[in-house]
Amino acid sequence: MPAFDVVCRVDLQEVDNAVNQTLREVSQRFDFKGVKTTLERDEHVLQLHSSDEFKVKAVAEILREKLVKREIPSKALSFGTIEPASAGTAKQTITMQQGIATDKAREVVKLIKGKKLKVQTAIQGDQLRVSGKKRDDLQTVMATLREAKLDLAMQFVNFRD
């Protein structure tokens, strides 16, 4: 029976590469000379810290550009608000989405069931398994999920016949 998985994963190695490229570009820019700017990744969270709010916005934009070039979907990132930090500096927390939350998974299942296709969906932890008898039905489900306005970076993996 054909099946595929709907997942939301961010390649952490590519994120590390984008962070390193961002830090390299910031160190070479004239407007950042003498400014202490840090960008660190801790598991699925990026911490951005700089001298003021304008610099934090500039570094976040550079990071967003580098991530897009490395094919990290922007929907998978959640940019927090810029907060004041100690000594007049500013910081921002960027959270990376790993896995599909249960409420979002239910929303996706409801969307698939609304299409009235002969497929079964199962929530398996932080991913969805979609299976059906016809390959065409599964491809229709994929097209439906791509077109849907879900605030979710989805990848379709493990397609089996």
* 22 neighbors 69 (Cβ within 8 angstroms): no
Determine the topology of domain 3-8+99-160 in CATH: Alpha-Beta Plaits (3.30.70)
Q: At what angle do helices 12-28 and 53-69 cross, to 10 degrees?
A: 130
- DSSP at 133: S
pLDDT-derived band of residue 102, with 50, 70 and 90 as boundaries? confident
Domain residue limits, the chain: 3-8+99-160, 12-96
At residue 49's C-alpha, the angle toward residues 46 and 51, to 5°, is 160
pLDDT tens per residue across span 140-161: 999 999 888 888 888 888 888 7
Which CATH homologous superfamily contains domain 12-96?
Answer: YajQ-like, domain 2 (3.30.70.990)
Of 74, 69, 116, the closest CA to residue 97 belongs to: 74
**Which residues, 6 or more positions from 71, have their beta carbon under 8 angstroms from its beta carbon?**
14
**Residue 1: is its pLDDT beyond 90?**
no
pLDDT tens per residue across span 3-62: 999 998 888 899 999 999 999 999 898 888 888 888 888 888 999 998 888 988 999 999
